[in-house]
Amino acid sequence: MIRTHDLYAGYQDAFSIHCPDISFADGCLTAVVGENGSGKSTLLRTLAGIAAPVRGEAFASECACYCAAAVSSGKKVFADEPAGETAAAPAVLSGEENIFSMEPSIRARRISYLPQSRNVPEISAYRLVLHGRFPYLSWPRRYRKEDEEEAERCMQEMGVYTLRDRRLSDLSGGERQRVYLAMLLAQNAGNVLMDEPATYLDIHHQMRLMEMSKKLAAEGRCVIMVMHDLLMALQYADRIAVVSDQTVTEPMEPEKAFSSGILERTFGVRIGRISTADGWRYYYETVEGTAFGH
């Protein structure tokens, strides 16, 4: 779980987005949606501990199933650390740690983060996926057999195992994105943050991505995904948090996000839906007719 307390995120002390007392729950895929430039990526970078907050606090805990699995497999489960001081001195729940005061290695085991844009190192796809195992290595930094097996498993899950010996610079944008997603899986953190991960993916792999994300949430993890596709968010997400007027709303069920009209007010579009044997299917309405979506 990731929880915020009166968190203000931004750059160089300039506030751009406010995330009040909000909990991003374990076992949920939470979609964060908002207009371009509304601060979604800034929020995610801050929750990942990459960017310092303007003010406020954020806390991360491991999902219960993840901690139990770690104990049964012999992995170390880290003890609590005291939270840093804030203006309102928030209580720290059992199992929580202050994201901004965590040791980097501990934070990397707690939180995995896929940014929207990345450099392309001159290494093979397999070597990049192995980087996801780096937080688990002790000195000297040598990969173990279990790290190699986990990297291979994650590449197979993302359908990129046949690309393992290809250099990243030789891959297409969609292939490279799936390799990065395999690295994210290999990190095996209890809190998974993704910033527009469907970028460059064709529709088949977009759907596989959403199914994978649902699977991670079903395992008990906290999955937070910045999304632009409102229709896909309504169809797949367990909760939707909307960035409106520089403030993040409490994550709500897709039904509430649809029926409350907040998406239409925020984005200036009308969304309709039809009932099918597989559940609701959403579409954008136009003045002249209907443009069907997901």
What pLDDT was estimated at residue 118? Answer: 84
Hey, which bits of 66-190 come out as E strands? Answer: 97-98, 111-114
Q: Which amino acid is at 269?
A: V
Peptide bond into 140 cis (omega under 30): yes
In this structure, what token pair is assigned to residue 144?
């173990």
What pLDDT was estimated at residue 68? Answer: 39
Low-confidence ranges of the chain (pLDDT < 70): 13, 63-94, 286-294
Each residue's pLDDT tens digit, 202-260? 999 999 899 999 999 999 999 999 999 999 999 999 999 999 999 999 999 999 999 99
Each residue's pLDDT tens digit, 86-109? 344 455 555 789 999 999 989 999
Please tell me the distance from the alpha carbon of residue 8 to that of residue 242, in angstroms, as a whole number: 16
Please tell me the distance from the alpha carbon of residue 168 to that of residue 120, in angstroms, as a whole number: 7
Please tell me the distance from the alpha carbon of residue 36 to that of residue 168, in angstroms, as a whole number: 28
Q: Do 221 and 26 form a contact (C-beta atoms < 8 A)?
A: yes
Q: Do 92 and 80 form a contact (C-beta atoms < 8 A)?
A: yes
Closest CA to 122 of 169, 161, 178, 182: 169
What pLDDT was estimated at residue 290? Answer: 47
The count of other CB atoms within 10 Å of the CB of residue 109 is: 24
Please tell me the distance from the alpha carbon of residue 151 to that of residue 233, in angstroms, as a whole number: 28
In this structure, what token pair is assigned to residue 260?
């409350």
Please tell me the distance from the alpha carbon of residue 62 to that of residue 94, in angstroms, as a whole number: 10
For the whole model, what pTM was predicted? 0.84
What pLDDT was estimated at residue 64? Answer: 53
What pLDDT was estimated at residue 293? Answer: 57
Q: Do 190 and 24 form a contact (C-beta atoms < 8 A)?
A: no
